[in-house]
Amino acid sequence: MSNILDYLAWRGDLSLTSDPFNSIDAVILSCLSYVDFAGVVPGKGNGRITIKDATKKFFKLHSESELAKDKSFINFGPQLLKALAASERFQNAYLLNYVDDTDIEREIQFAAIEIDTSDGTPFISYRGTDDRIIGWKEDFNLSYMTVPAEIEAVLYLQDVMSGRKENFRLGGHSKGGHLAIYAASKATQDLAERAVNIYSFDGPGFGFNRDILNSSQFKKIQPRIEKFIPQTSVVGRLLTRTVAPVIVKSTELGIMQHNPMSWELCGKNFVTLASTDKLSDVVEETMTSWIEEMSLEERKVFVDELFSVFEASGCDTLSAMTKIRVKEMRAIVKRMRLIKSDSGEKVRTLVKIFFMNLNALNEGTIDLLEEETKLRSLVANIKNKTGK
């Protein structure tokens, strides 16, 4: 089966005039914001550059050997950029209004870029969570607070699109999909009405409380929201469901299905499935029930404790955690034993699930029935200890 790079190779010669914008174009442009465009694309209000010229500039700044050292799941960004530059469909599209703000102390990871396509409808692409643990913690922070990235997403949309008349599209992968929906739901009424499509690719539901979901503005934009998740989705099923998702078949296993490069295509459409698998279902049921029964303060404690365990390893990325040794694992276990709050058992269970997935992926196979049985056993153990 083909993926998004195959799509660009096979259909990249078709202009948006001859073959209108579709959801595959949307996931491609959503993923483009993963590229580090510092020193390549102008910032807000400082000009623009074509994708073709930006690619030349990018590869002058970054060598192939340097890029090959990136082992994160979003390391496909430069390869995607090169494919876009080689396609008639996108090579003359303009990139502009690039911003990138990541700060560990403020617990923010925000980046966005505008892509001015040839069909007269610009695309605002919000960057999702990359390999850094700080980004994943910000995702979980969404469960109990408005995070800085959400505020920045709304301000960015208003800064770049206010005072203009054209309609536009919004989109993002992972947290970027959440930010696209959030920005449209919180922007001015004029901007919300001009957002013709809002795309979320395996974006979490965290952060959409009842007030937002019941607001008149959200109800107006809801028919324009398109959400896509893989069959073993974990991230895209966390907590609140904003719209019914389209389920896409993936060539990867477990959590690695979050990588959109693994999503299968047929022509200009995703290969879809009727339902998610049982492993995804039980993770969604478990996480949602756990979080919904917690107060906002309990959620904060839970998130802080969970990520204190990961931080105890000394790793700042998930990729690094796949290579930890005995010393780092001892530090993780020691930190878990220090957690005495009510959420301690849940934290320990999630950490076990994380490493169970890593071990299975490293072995190159996941027995979904076996993984589901393990997870249900862990959850049952919690219920026996806590009564919840």
* Distance separating alpha carbons of residues 240 and 143, to the nearest angstrom: 10
pLDDT at 210: 72
User: Do β-strands 265-266 and 246-248 pair in parallel, antiparallel, or remain unpaired?
Assistant: unpaired
pLDDT at 279: 76
pLDDT at 185: 93
pLDDT tens sequence across 298-356: 889 888 998 998 889 888 887 777 777 888 888 888 898 888 777 788 888 778 777 76
Q: 317 CB contacts (<8 Å, ≥6 apart)?
A: 72, 131, 132, 133
Helix axes 175-186, 133-141, angle to 10 degrees: 40
Question: What average pLDDT score do residues 357-370 get?
Answer: 58
pLDDT tens sequence across 47-84: 999 999 999 999 999 988 888 888 777 889 999 999 99
pLDDT tens sequence across 232-267: 887 777 666 678 899 999 998 777 888 999 999 999
pLDDT at 379: 62
Report percent pLDDT > 90 for the chain.
Answer: 50
Asked whether residue 387 carries a pLDDT value surpassing 90, the answer given is: no
Asked whether residue 145 carries a pLDDT value surpassing 80, the answer given is: yes
Asked whether residue 103 carries a pLDDT value surpassing 80, the answer given is: no
Question: What average pLDDT score do residues 86-98 get?
Answer: 97
Question: What average pLDDT score do residues 200-215 get?
Answer: 79
> Which pTM value belongs to this model?
0.89
* Distance separating alpha carbons of residues 254 and 371, to the nearest angstrom: 10
pLDDT at 349: 79
**What rounded mean pLDDT belongs to the chain?**
86
Handedness of CA 351, 77, 206, 265 (dihedral sign): negative
Phi, psi of 357 (to 5 degrees): -65, -45
Residue 161, exposed/middle/buried by CB under 10 A (0-12, 13-18, 19+)?
A: buried
Asked whether residue 290 carries a pLDDT value surpassing 60, the answer given is: yes
Per-residue HEC secondary structure of the chain comes to: CECHHHHHHHHCCCCCCCCCCCHHHHHHHHHHCCCCCCCCCCCCCCCEEEHHHHHHHHHHHCCHHHHHCCCCCCCCHHHHHHHHHCCCCCCCCEEEEEEEEEECCCCEEEEEEEEECCCCCCEEEECCCCCEHHHHHHHHHCCCCCCHHHHHHHHHHHHHHCCCCCCEEEEEECHHHHHHHHHHHHCCHHHHHHEEEEEEECCCCCCCCHHHHCCHHHHHHHHHEEEEEECCCCHHHCCCCCCCCEEECECCCHHHHHCHHHECEECCEECEECCCCHHHHHHHHHHHHHHHCCCHHHHHHHHHHHHHHHHHCCCCEHHHHCCCCHHHHHHHHHHHHHCCCCCHHHHHHHHHHHHHHHHHHHCCCCCHHHHHHHHHHHHHHHHHHHCC
Q: How confident is the model at residue 98 (pLDDT cuts 50, 70, 90)?
A: very high
* Position with higher pLDDT, 235 vs 154: 154
* Distance separating alpha carbons of residues 58 and 54, to the nearest angstrom: 6
Asked whether residue 360 carries a pLDDT value surpassing 90, the answer given is: no
pLDDT at 186: 93
Q: 170 CB contacts (<8 Å, ≥6 apart)?
A: 123, 124, 126, 157, 180, 181, 183, 184, 195, 197, 198, 199
